[in-house]
């Protein structure tokens, strides 16, 4: 109702004249018949009411009606939505240079986030510098290999905490436990310290704040569709996002300044974590570190790394509990390859094709960023036989692509087997646009290598160390598998499951 009330307010505010004038000017440049098809827009509001509270689902239904590329008039903004792997490839690969930039939404202007964030910066000098740091200093294979022991310690702590719940006969919040593990792994990697402890409220506070950022970024914002309203922030989205950003940035600021003080001491021993790495780079170049740039880089890593990893693990566990035969098959593979009750090591993953297939199938059915991050057309360009006009916002509906019946057999079923065999080598590194949970092209998520390592370790270890049942007598057939939309796609009802001792043998099940 938020957006409906604001739209009604627009009429009272007199935005109608401005909107119609702008639409009239645009129609002179790109005739309507050259634009991708779509529903007829209403006066002033355009197709805003078509979005609903789950835009990824609404846009999928529109694509089923109008085709794999559609255009919507959202207030004063033309939005083009692509929902097929073929057209996604044109955006992400063929015309990547045209679509590589992003027009910041109003919410990301909070705390000037868009001026420093790797996800929103234009492809210019600052973006290239940050991307190079991520690729060479933070997520390079040799760096990740060197930090493996840190990941193993965190996974062991994760399993130990689950073990305590098992002894007490208590259910665990799967997403919350995965969030704490991911947060501490990243904070150890960045600062050599844990930011959260399962027994304290800090993990829940961070999770609430990170979800708040994701939720505000995912909300349809009338200020994006009617620029005249930007300063008014009619839905309060930027105000709430500012509150969340300031909470995290304040913590990061204190940690960075504490490290600077320590480094001034004569007996300081470098930790080789991300913060020391960036400080060393600054000293070698004999220049002061840009503090806000560093804070927001760390904020990006923490929010993106924890939200996406914990949501993916929760969806994977939910699908396995919803499909017990697949769960047993995964456990049988783990028992046969590495032995029951052992932690999964990174060196084991290559020998666990079914575990890999489970994660791929989870990414297909439940991409954590269902509409990816919006791009902007840098010029008029032909896609799929239609003109995408310069300045249009372009969305790639990864959720719809993962459920495209022209690509996937029985697309609504959870079937990891579809990724097994030599005839199906689809991966999620951006090369195959049938599966793009991390995006593609030069704007692909830089943290993919770390996320994939952690997800295999956490999921495999949970399955190999415990048996599982649902809480309070819930059975697979009655599980709530509904989604909650934000920038990150979460389960509407958090998954709670009870860990149990593994049976003696499941080989052959």
pLDDT band at 387 (very low <50, low <70, confident <90, very high): very high
Which residues, listed in sequence order, are joined to residue 286 by a DSSP beta bridge?
none
pLDDT band at 2 (very low <50, low <70, confident <90, very high): low
Which residues touch 241 (CB under 8 Å, ≥6 apart)?
Answer: 107, 108, 110, 212, 213, 216, 217
Q: Provide mean pLDDT across the span 4-32.
A: 52
Give me the pLDDT at residue 506, please. Answer: 42
Separation CA 311–CA 495 (nearest Å): 10
- Higher-pLDDT residue of 27 and 309 is 309
**306 CB neighbour count, 10 Å cutoff:** 28
Give the three-class secondary structure for 307.
Answer: helix
Q: Provide mean pLDDT across the span 292-320.
A: 92
Strand order in the sheet with 375-376: 69-74, 77-82, 393-396, 375-376
Give me the pLDDT at residue 17, please. Answer: 43
Q: Residues 183, 186, 190, 191: is their CA dihedral positive or negative? A: positive
Give me the pLDDT at residue 507, please. Answer: 41
Quick one: 211 exposed, middle or buried, by C-beta within 10 A (0-12, 13-18, 19+)?
Answer: buried
| Residues in the chain, overall count | 509
Residue 365 pLDDT more than 70?
yes
Give me the pLDDT at residue 5, please. Answer: 55
pLDDT one-digit tens code per residue, 272-299: 788 988 888 888 877 777 888 999 999 9
Give me the pLDDT at residue 280, please. Answer: 85
Q: Provide mean pLDDT across the span 405-434.
A: 88
Give me the pLDDT at residue 19, please. Answer: 46
Residue 26 pLDDT more than 70?
no
Give me the pLDDT at residue 74, please. Answer: 92
pLDDT band at 9 (very low <50, low <70, confident <90, very high): low
Residue 317 pLDDT more than 90?
yes
Which residues, listed in sequence order, are joined to residue 95 by a DSSP beta bridge?
none
Residue corresponding to tokens 């990061």: 252
Give me the pLDDT at residue 200, please. Answer: 60
> What backbone torsions phi and psi does residue 409 show, to the nearest 5 degrees?
-75, 135
Q: How much is the mean pLDDT over the chain?
A: 88
Q: Provide mean pLDDT across the span 441-453.
A: 92
Q: Provide mean pLDDT across the span 405-425.
A: 88
Pairing of strands 69-74, 483-484: unpaired
- Helix and strand numbers (H, E) in the chain are 17, 11
Give me the pLDDT at residue 3, please. Answer: 54
pLDDT one-digit tens code per residue, 473-494: 899 999 999 998 877 888 999 9
Q: Provide mean pLDDT across the span 301-308.
A: 88
Give me the pLDDT at residue 6, please. Answer: 55
Cα–Cα–Cα angle for 473, 474, 477, rounded to 5 degrees: 140
Give percent of the chain with pLDDT exceeding 70.
91
Give me the pLDDT at residue 485, please. Answer: 84
pLDDT one-digit tens code per residue, 44-98: 889 999 998 899 999 999 999 999 999 999 998 999 999 999 999 999 999 999 9
Q: Provide mean pLDDT across the span 180-191.
A: 89
Q: Provide mean pLDDT across the span 137-142.
A: 88
Which residues touch 308 (CB under 8 Å, ≥6 apart)?
Answer: 368, 369, 451, 488
pLDDT band at 307 (very low <50, low <70, confident <90, very high): confident
Q: Which two tokens stand for residue 496?
A: 């709670």
Q: Which two tokens stand for residue 290?
A: 């840009």
Residue 330 pLDDT more than 70?
yes
Give me the pLDDT at residue 377, please. Answer: 96
Residue 498 pLDDT more than 60?
yes
pLDDT one-digit tens code per residue, 94-135: 999 999 999 899 999 999 999 999 999 999 999 999 999 888
pLDDT band at 11 (very low <50, low <70, confident <90, very high): very low
The domains found in the chain, sorted by start residue, are 2-500 (1.10.630.10)
> What backbone torsions phi and psi does residue 365 show, to the nearest 5 degrees?
-80, -30
Rg (CA), the chain: 23
Which residues touch 107 (CB under 8 Å, ≥6 apart)?
Answer: 216, 217, 219, 221, 237, 238, 241
Separation CA 420–CA 357 (nearest Å): 7
Contact 308, 368 (CB under 8 A): yes
Give the single-character DSSP code of 134: I
pLDDT one-digit tens code per residue, 259-273: 999 998 888 888 878
Which residues, listed in sequence order, are joined to residue 496 by a DSSP beta bridge?
173
Q: Residues 196, 200, 202, 206: is their CA dihedral positive or negative? A: positive
Give me the pLDDT at residue 203, please. Answer: 73
Give the single-character DSSP code of 138: I
């Amino acid at each position: 109702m938020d957006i409906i009330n604001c739209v009604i307010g627009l009429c009272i505010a007199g935005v109608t004249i401005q909107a119609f004038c702008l639409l009239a000017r645009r129609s002179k440049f790109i005739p309507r018949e050259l634009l991708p098809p779509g529903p007829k827009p209403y006066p002033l509001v355009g197709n805003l009411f078509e979005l609903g509270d789950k835009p990824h689902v609404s846009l999928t239904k529109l694509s089923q009606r109008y085709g794999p590329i559609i255009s919507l008039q959202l207030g004063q903004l033309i939005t083009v939505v692509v929902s097929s792997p073929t057209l996604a490839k044109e955006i992400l690969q063929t015309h990547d240079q045209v679509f590589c930039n992003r027009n910041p939404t109003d919410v990301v202007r909070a705390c000037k986030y868009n001026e420093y964030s790797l996800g929103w910066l234009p492809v210019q000098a600052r973006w290239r510098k940050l991307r190079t740091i991520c690729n060479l200093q933070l997520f390079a294979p040799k760096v990740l290999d060197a930090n493996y022991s840190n990941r193993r310690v965190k996974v062991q702590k994760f399993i130990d905490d689950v073990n305590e719940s098992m002894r007490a006969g208590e259910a665990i919040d799967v997403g919350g436990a995965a969030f704490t593990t991911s947060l501490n792994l990243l904070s150890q990697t960045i600062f050599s310290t844990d930011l959260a402890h399962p027994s304290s409220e800090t993990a829940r506070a961070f999770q609430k704040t990170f979800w708040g950022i994701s939720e505000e970024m995912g909300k349809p914002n009338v200020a994006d569709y009617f620029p005249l309203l930007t300063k008014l922030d009619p839905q309060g989205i930027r105000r709430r996002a500012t509150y969340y950003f300031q909470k995290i940035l304040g913590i990061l600021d204190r940690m960075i300044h504490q490290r600077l003080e320590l480094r001034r001491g004569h007996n300081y021993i470098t930790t080789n974590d991300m913060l020391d790495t960036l400080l060393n780079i600054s000293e070698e170049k004999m220049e002061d570190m840009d503090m806000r740039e560093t804070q927001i880089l760390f904020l990006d890593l923490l929010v993106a790394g924890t939200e996406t990893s914990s949501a993916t693990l929760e969806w994977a566990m939910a699908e396995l509990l919803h499909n017990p035969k697949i769960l047993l098959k995964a456990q049988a593979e783990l028992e046969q390859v590495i032995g029951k009750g052992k932690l999964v090591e990174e060196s084991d993953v290559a020998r666990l094709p079914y575990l890999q297939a489970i994660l791929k199938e989870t990414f297909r059915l439940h991409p954590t960023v269902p509409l990816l991050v919006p791009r902007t057309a840098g010029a008029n360009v032909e896609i799929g036989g239609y003109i995408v006009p310069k300045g249009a916002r372009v969305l790639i509906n990864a959720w719809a692509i993962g459920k495209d019946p022209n690509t996937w057999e029985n697309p609504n079923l959870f079937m990891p087997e579809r990724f097994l065999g030599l005839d199906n080598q689809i991966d999620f590194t951006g090369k195959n646009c049938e599966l793009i949970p991390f995006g593609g092209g030069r704007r692909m998520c830089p943290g993919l290598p770390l996320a994939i390592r952690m997800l295999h370790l956490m999921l495999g270890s949970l399955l190999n160390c415990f048996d599982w049942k649902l809480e309070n007598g819930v059975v697979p057939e009655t599980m709530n598998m509904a989604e909650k939309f934000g920038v990150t796609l979460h389960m509407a009802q958090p998954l709670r499951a009870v860990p149990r001792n593994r049976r003696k043998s499941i080989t052959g099940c």
